[in-house]
Structure 1
Amino acid sequence: MQLSRTGEAKPIKAIRNAALALTLSLTGVTMTDPSLAQAQAPSPATTGVLVILTVKTGIAREQVMAVMPDEVRQTVQLYLDGKIREWYSRADGRGAVFLLDVKDVAEGHAIMDALPLAKQDLVDHEYIAVGPLMPLRLLTTKP
Structure 2
Amino acid sequence: MKVFAIGSIIKPLTLEQAKPIMAKEVPDTLQLYLDGKIEQFWHRKDREGVIFLINAESADQAKATLAKLPLVEGGFLSFEYVLVGPLAPLGRLIQS
SS in 2 for 1:125: strand
2:59 is equivalent to residue 105 of structure 1: yes
Greater Rg over alpha carbons, structure: 1
- Structure with bigger strand share is 2
Q: Is it true that 1:91 corresponds to 2:45 in the alignment?
A: yes
User: Would you say how many aligned residue pairs link Structure 1 and Structure 2?
Assistant: 95
**For 2:59 and 2:19, how far apart are their aligned partners in 1?**
27
* SS of the residue 1:67 aligns to: helix
**In 2, distance between residues paired with 1:122 and 1:106?**
20
Is 1:56 the counterpart of 2:15? The answer is no
Counterpart residue identity of residue 70, structure 2: P
Gap regions ≥5 residues in structure 1: 1-46
In the TM superposition, residue 66 of structure 1 has moved relative to its aligned partner by 3.8
Q: How far apart are the structure 1 equivalents of 2:7 and 2:20?
A: 17
2:22 matches 1:68 = yes
Paired amino acid for 1:88: W
Runs of 4+ residues over 3 Å off in structure 1? 63-66
* Sequence identity (%): 35
Q: What secondary structure sits across from 1:53 in the alignment?
A: strand
Alignment of 1:27-66 (within 5 A): 47-57=1-11, 59-62=12-15, 63-66=17-20
The Cα of 1:124 is off from its aligned counterpart by: 1.4
Residue 119 (str. 1) matches residue 73 (str. 2): yes
TM normalised by structure 2 equals 0.88
Give the conservation status (yes or no) of the 8 Å contact 1:113–1:119. yes
